[in-house]
């Protein structure tokens, strides 16, 4: 509940494609929270447990902007044309990775400690309609997964 000077931030446990816990996230600011003025989108922090991954996810309409502020993760983005971009994100060399709608993306925490990622996404998450397609990293390169992504995008864009 938001007041004029503070709001409660919602913490959500997260799981991988198989339902195994992989960390959590907390919404910090959102155009939908009734508290934050002038923001078009949403900002959240996500914690990635050691040796786990967040993703792969494909969002039909959302842009993501991911910055690692604690720890070290490998970002992998697969474009609509199948090109693969990898970037090391860590708190020593602060960088932000942009993910366009329709791109599969995953964050791999390859370290022994939790990693913290800040994401600015636009538009803000909404409970209306299918928001994302989740695909396990082990099958992201399978032809069936590529077909699922194409079908998801054709239906939701």
- Which domain does 54 fall in, by range? 11-156
> Which whole number is the average pLDDT over 46-74?
97
pLDDT at site 54: 96
Provide the β-strand partners of residue 68: 117
Average pLDDT over residues 73-82: 96
Query: pLDDT tens digits for 123-157?
Result: 998 877 678 999 999 999 999 999 999 999 999 98
Residue 146 CB coordination number (10 Å): 15
pLDDT score, position 104: 98
Within a domain: residue 44? yes
Please determine, for residue 21, whether its predicted confidence score (pLDDT) is greater than 80.
yes
- CATH number at 27 reads 2.60.120.10
149/13 Cα distance (integer angstroms): 25
Whether 130 is in a domain gets the answer yes
Using the predicted structure, report yes or no on whether residue 1 has a pLDDT greater than 70.
no
């Amino acid at each position: 509940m938001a007041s004029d000077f503070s709001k409660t931030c919602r913490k959500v446990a997260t799981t991988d494609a198989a339902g195994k816990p992989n960390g959590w996230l907390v919404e910090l600011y959102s155009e939908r929270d009734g508290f934050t003025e002038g923001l078009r989108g949403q900002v959240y922090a996500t914690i990635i447990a050691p040796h786990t991954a967040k993703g792969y996810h494909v969002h039909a309409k959302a842009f993501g902007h991911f910055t690692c502020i604690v720890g070290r993760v490998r970002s992998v983005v697969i474009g609509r044309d199948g090109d693969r971009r990898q970037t090391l994100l860590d708190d020593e060399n602060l960088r932000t990775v942009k993910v366009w709608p329709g791109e599969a993306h995953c964050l791999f925490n390859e370290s022994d400690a939790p990693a913290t990622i800040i994401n600015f996404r636009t538009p803000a998450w909404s409970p209306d309609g299918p928001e994302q397609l989740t695909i396990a990293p082990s099958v992201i390169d399978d032809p069936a997964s590529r077909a699922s992504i194409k079908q998801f995008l054709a239906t939701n864009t």
